[in-house]
A and B are shown apart, each in its own frame.
Chain A
Amino acid sequence: MSYTPELRELMKKVEETRPSRVGVNYPRMTPDERRDVLKNFHPDYIEDGFREVRVGVDKGTRLTNEMADIFEAYSRLKDVEIDLTVEPDYDVDILIIGGGGAGASAALEAHAAGSNVMITTKLRFGDANTMMAQGGIQAADKENDSPAIHYLDVMGGGRLENVPELARALVMDAPLVIKWLEDMGTMFDKKEDGTMITIHGGGTSRKRMHAARDYTGAEIMRTLRDEVLNKGIKVVEFSAAVEVLLDDNGNAAGAVLYNLETNQYEIARAKTVIIATGGSGRLHYRGFPTSNHYGATADGLIMGYRAGAKTIYADSIQYHPTGGAYPPQLLGLLVTEKTRGLGATPLNIKGEQFVYHLETRDVASSAIIRECEERGLGIPLPTGITAVWLDSPIIDLIHGEGTIERQLPAMLRQFQRFDVDIRKVPMLIYPTLHYQNGGLLIDENSLSTVKNLYVAGEASGGMHGTNRLMGNSLLDIIVFGRRAGRHAAAVSKDMDTPAGLNLEHLNSYHKELEETGAADGRVGPMLLPRYTHR
């Protein structure tokens, strides 16, 4: 048991109030209360964390300081000699940058449509936030549900700032995606008769969260990856794209790749390019820890932006209410929302609930920050930070002994590794940097504002407005990955090999940086975060 004696003493309050909380729902906030807590406590509203970007197509747009730093940076190729007149190292119809769920889905669809596809990826194929998504994937495939009801949840959760056509595509494709994945052999939680087991997520009005235990993303990713390999699709690992190449018409036509192990550059020519590089949690906005993958450094965003792709809500960041806070080895790691879906409730130092356990993520995070910062009712930890309890043992009280073991094996195992048994003691949590709600703007075919340049998955934006609901990200990567793959395949079919490959856009971008003095010597994309201490 790795909780300190002080924590064990405080924990008694949780045990005291537990019996009175079983089966009792804490009231939801009114719409006004929700708006109020967001405005006062959500990091998206804390103005000193943001600035206007001084260069590029969205000059003057508000970004987090950390993302603006990445946008206001020189290319890694600034002083590198790249010969674009020789035969490229790779020559394909479709170049997919990123080997997560969106990239793999795009590859499968494009391959099925007859295109010559290649995936290039910074780390291993499958090293992505997809792999870490635990709780579930939404789809309206029950009789009491419909894509329209799902749509209303998506829009309301997204503060009605979503691009309607993208939200429509997201929810309408959802049942098709579940079927596609299941036909491929993805193992969702089901009853004996085949019925999908679904539960609530934060902000859902119907139980439409499909899961594969709490390894949902991992199960989807390994299945997609296996299928890509079965199809013989070319995958180049440890090869990060650093810039998009344009042709003589200014359309996307490939990318410059950087072999992380040999430090050499390579050229990939392609008729169409799909950016599927994921999110940006490793930029650690406002110093927050993150639940994100090692490679989540916004590479695709800056590459696409330099090539002229416009952004949408790139300043909107999702803080997941339940990041691990203690033991210190679990700091920032995701405690799946499924834990709350199963009934675990956030509690303050007095063992009292202070927010309905299934508010949307933005509201729940803000309420936890308020409880700790304004009300001073957080639990002080030996590491110097404060946190709140998440009462996990109540799950087995509500649903019967063994529920945690069956439904949350990853969580149980993760905490057990550091001597905390979540069946017996509550978890300690605090919001963690989880997701980039916005990204590069796309249309229903995943096409960016640059011709022949597609974006899918977390790198894209618009469908979620400024707050994504749980289970809509695993959905979004597959929906828009597939759409990108299909459309790119159709477009590539009748296209000649692009000519006049160039990096001219970097020169004009660099000129803007010089004129504004914005770059301050920074170079990007980051590729990998630096955690070395010396």
Chain B
Amino acid sequence: MTDQIKKVDIFIMGKRYTVPETLTIMDAMEYAGYQLVRGCGCRAGFCGACATVYRMAGDYELQVGLACQTKVEDGMYLAQIPFFPGRKATFDLEELKPSTAHFTQLYPEVYRCLGCSSCTKVCPQDIDVMQYIAYIQRGDFQKAADISFDCLMCGLCVSRCPANIVHYNAALTARRLYSRYIAKPDAFLVERAKAIEEGKMDEEIDELVTADKEKLQELYDNREIEK
């Protein structure tokens, strides 16, 4: 099988390797002999560890992708960004309010956005990053939370921002503010949590905890299942 697969030439940090064309950038690096430590995490597009910058031979434009989610192409020049020293503001969520005034203190640079859209162009998740920064500026944390939600915090947006905004950390704070203060609490959840803490749910469960296996099997096999 492997023999039939076409091979392509890629350039890892400038050095040429010939690899099967079906591989992702991450697999190709390993195929080439790299034992990855940095730049590799979940290998499934969820953790943002493997932000990669590449350029196709003969082209001037830099492109980006997640190494685990991007197939190699012939003539790809690539390098990974192992770490990006973006700032994270620390805060006590209980002391914060979902207000522009509070947000300014945490991330003043958000208000210095130049509107260049470099962040949006570079996002491997296709998130409209600049738009959520605009929502944060306006204090619309609900909209910022919504459109920033699929962010993997890979840091590529930060690497391109001329205003030195740390978008992913600002977005995370916006989402936490939205969830904590703007989204309504689930009334029954609060009630249920209280009932458990007061021991009101103990009796029902302890009857099962002390039941023998035969009884449990019977109860399980005949349990009512919500449609």
Which of A86-94, A143-151, A361-369 is the contact stretch?
Answer: A143-151
Residue A132 contacts which of B47, B125, B184, B216 (CB distance < 8 angstroms)? Answer: B47
Task: Tell me, rounded to whole Å, the shortest Cβ–Cβ distance linking B83 to chain A.
Answer: 8
Residue A528 contacts which of B22, B37, B125, B184 (CB distance < 8 angstroms)? Answer: B37
Q: Report A-chain residues with C-beta under 8 Å of the C-beta of B190.
A: 179
Residue B46 contacts which of A132, A151, A195 (CB distance < 8 angstroms)? Answer: A132
Chain A residue with the shortest CB-CB distance to B184:
A194
Residue A155 contacts which of B47, B187, B220 (CB distance < 8 angstroms)? Answer: B220
Interface residues of A in 426-476 (CB under 8 A from B): none
Residue B179 contacts which of A156, A187, A410, A534 (CB distance < 8 angstroms)? Answer: A187
Flag if B186 contacts A152 (CB, 8 Å). no
A59 touches B (CB below 8 Å): no
A182 touches B (CB below 8 Å): yes
How far is A528 from B39 in the complex, measured between Cα atoms in Å?
13
Interface residues of B in 56-108 (CB under 8 A from A): 69-71, 88, 90-93
Q: Report A-chain residues with C-beta under 8 Å of the C-beta of B206.
A: 168
Task: Tell me, rounded to whole Å, the shortest Cβ–Cβ distance linking A252 to chain B.
Answer: 27
Q: Report B-chain residues with C-beta under 8 Å of the C-beta of A195.
A: 186-188
Residue A186 contacts which of B150, B179, B219 (CB distance < 8 angstroms)? Answer: B179
Q: Report B-chain residues with C-beta under 8 Å of the C-beta of A489.
A: none
Residue A383 contacts which of B1, B31, B205, B226 (CB distance < 8 angstroms)? Answer: B1
Flag if B183 contacts A131 (CB, 8 Å). no
Flag if B71 contacts A152 (CB, 8 Å). no
Interface size class of B (residues with CB under 8 A): 35 or more
Q: Per-position contact with A for B199-227: 1 when CB-CB < 8 Å, else 0?
A: 00100111111000100110111011110
Q: Per-position contact with B for A172-195: 1 when CB-CB < 8 Å, else 0?
A: 100110110011111110101111
B166 touches A (CB below 8 Å): no
Q: Report A-chain residues with C-beta under 8 Å of the C-beta of B225.
A: 205
Interface residues of A in 94-147 (CB under 8 A from B): 123-124, 126-127, 131-132, 134, 140-144, 146-147
Residue B216 contacts which of A141, A152, A333, A409 (CB distance < 8 angstroms)? Answer: A152
Q: Given that A148-B207, A152-B223, A230-B91 are contacting pairs, would A182 and B185 also be in contact in the complex, using a CB cutoff of 8 Å?
A: yes
Task: Tell me, rounded to whole Å, the shortest Cβ–Cβ distance linking A62 to chain B.
Answer: 21
Flag if A226 contacts B205 (CB, 8 Å). no
Q: Report A-chain residues with C-beta under 8 Å of the C-beta of B92.
A: 230
Residue A329 contacts which of B22, B31, B177, B224 (CB distance < 8 angstroms)? Answer: B22
Flag if B176 contacts A131 (CB, 8 Å). no
Flag if A131 contacts B42 (CB, 8 Å). yes
Q: Report B-chain residues with C-beta under 8 Å of the C-beta of A222.
A: 153, 172
Flag if B49 contacts A123 (CB, 8 Å). yes
Q: Given that A172-B196, A205-B223, A530-B35 are contacting pairs, would A178 and B46 also be in contact in the complex, using a CB cutoff of 8 Å?
A: no
Q: Per-position contact with A for B28-51: 1 when CB-CB < 8 Å, else 0?
A: 001111111110111111110100
Q: Report B-chain residues with C-beta under 8 Å of the C-beta of A218.
A: 46-47, 152
Flag if A187 contacts B149 (CB, 8 Å). yes
A164 touches B (CB below 8 Å): yes
Q: Report B-chain residues with C-beta under 8 Å of the C-beta of A532.
A: 30-31, 33-35
Task: Tell me, rounded to whole Å, the shortest Cβ–Cβ distance linking B35 to chain A.
Answer: 6
Chain A residue with the shortest CB-CB distance to B207:
A148
Which of A386-394, A413-421, A494-502 is the contact stretch?
Answer: A413-421
Interface hub of B93, B187, B206 (most chain A Cβ within 10 A): B93
Number of interface residues of A (CB under 8 A): 87
Q: Report A-chain residues with C-beta under 8 Å of the C-beta of B37.
A: 123, 238, 260-261, 528
Residue B193 contacts which of A164, A176, A534 (CB distance < 8 angstroms)? Answer: A176
Residue A156 contacts which of B31, B38, B217 (CB distance < 8 angstroms)? Answer: B217
Q: Report A-chain residues with C-beta under 8 Å of the C-beta of B177.
A: 185
Task: Tell me, rounded to whole Å, the shortest Cβ–Cβ distance linking A260 to chain B.
Answer: 5
A215 touches B (CB below 8 Å): yes
How far is A222 from B42 in the complex, measured between Cα atoms in Å?
14
Chain A residue with the shortest CB-CB distance to B45:
A414
Flag if A184 contacts B213 (CB, 8 Å). no
How far is A112 from B90 in the complex, measured between Cα atoms in Å?
16
Chain B residue with the shortest CB-CB distance to A213:
B149
Q: Per-position contact with A for B162-199: 1 when CB-CB < 8 Å, else 0?
A: 00000000001101111110011111111011001100
Residue B33 contacts which of A193, A194, A534 (CB distance < 8 angstroms)? Answer: A534
Task: Tell me, rounded to whole Å, the shortest Cβ–Cβ distance linking B80 to chain A.
Answer: 13
Q: Report A-chain residues with C-beta under 8 Å of the C-beta of B217.
A: 31, 156, 160
Residue B41 contacts which of A232, A294, A417 (CB distance < 8 angstroms)? Answer: A294
Task: Tell me, rounded to whole Å, the shortest Cβ–Cβ distance linking A33 to chain B.
Answer: 12
Interface hub of B34, B90, B91 (most chain A Cβ within 10 A): B90
Q: Given that A126-B47, A293-B42 are contacting pairs, would A148 and B90 also be in contact in the complex, using a CB cutoff of 8 Å?
A: no
9 A-B pairs with least C-beta separation: A185-B176, A194-B184, A156-B220, A531-B30, A148-B204, A148-B205, A185-B180, A185-B179, A187-B179
Could you list 9 examples of A-B contacts with CB < 8 Å?
A131-B42, A148-B208, A152-B216, A153-B220, A160-B220, A200-B226, A329-B23, A333-B43, A410-B46
